[in-house]
Amino acid sequence: MSNCKDFNGKVVLITGSSSGIGREIALYLSSLGAQVVITGRDEERVQIVAEKCRELSQQKVLEVVADVNRYDDIERLIYETIDEFGKLDVLVNSA
């Protein structure tokens, strides 16, 4: 897939990235050099996916346990992302 956009250093938040399609997107973007925010409701699954992303890339990976059905969790998710990386380049809604 040499035609893919260069994600090196881009900050990508993927909702629902602890399983399914969101997980696969997170792993793929990590392999392209993205700094990813892994989020989901299950802390253990979030940690597992985050560790797999760290195995694929030396870029930062942020883990945030959150339920995107709750406004307070969404707000915290954005604040934690900005606090950690100083920006957000891409949002993937997969939850």
Taking the CA atoms of 73, 75, 83 and 58 in sequence, report the sign of the dihedral they define: positive
Q: Is 78's pLDDT higher than 90?
A: yes
Can you tell me the distance from the alpha carbon of 59 to that of 23, in angstroms, rounded to the nearest whole number?
Answer: 17
Mean pLDDT calculated for residue range 31-59? 96
Q: How many CB atoms lie within 10 A of CB 52?
A: 15
pLDDT at 87 over 60: yes
Domain spans of the chain? Answer: 11-92
User: What pLDDT score does 89 carry?
Assistant: 96
CA pair distance 22, 91, nearest whole angstrom: 11
List the CATH code of the domain at 11-92.
3.40.50.720
Instruction: Work out the average pLDDT over 19-36.
Output: 96
CA distance 49 to 94: 15
Tell me, yes or no, if the pTM score tops 0.85: yes
What per-residue confidence (pLDDT) applies to 95? 85
